[in-house]
Amino acid sequence: QVQVVESGGGLVQPGGSLRLSCAASGSIFSTMGWYRQPPGKQRALVATITTGGIIDYADSVKGRFTISRDNARNTVYLQTNNLKPEDTAVYYCYADTRPFSRRYWGQGTQVTVSS
């Protein structure tokens, strides 16, 4: 049974930082990453990372967020720095299985940036 579990969300002031973690289990995984869904908006890509370390970021987070991965633990991290109110969203982690790629999602973790 595949499980994807996020942690690390919370309330932070503008300019602050949070580190999100996501642990996947129950399969072999290829690409993992993060999406976010602000209130009243659609879910959108934040960052992705392959097992080989190829990384992609949304333009809105480049220079502020850093994604990293521990392949041995099937865990991906999202270091978020210089947070802005517009970063407020539910952050969802995903993990793609291999072979026969299928995407699994975590339950989401709330990040709120407010003074």
Q: Can you tell me the distance from the alpha carbon of 101 to that of 75, in angstroms, rounded to the nearest whole number?
A: 18
DSSP 35-99: EEE-TTS--EEEEEE-TT--EEE-GGGTTTEEEEEEGGGTEEEEEE-S--GGG-EEEEEEEEESS
pLDDT tens for 28-52 read 999 999 999 999 999 999 999 999 9
pLDDT at 86: 97
Closest to 23 in 3D by CA, of 7, 37, 38, 34: 7
Phi and psi (nearest 5°) for 112?
-120, 125
* 112: pLDDT strictly greater than 90: yes
Query: Stretch 75-96: mean pLDDT, rounded?
Result: 98
pLDDT of residue 100: 78
End-to-end, the C-alpha distance of the chain in Å comes to 40
The pLDDT assigned to 15 comes to 98
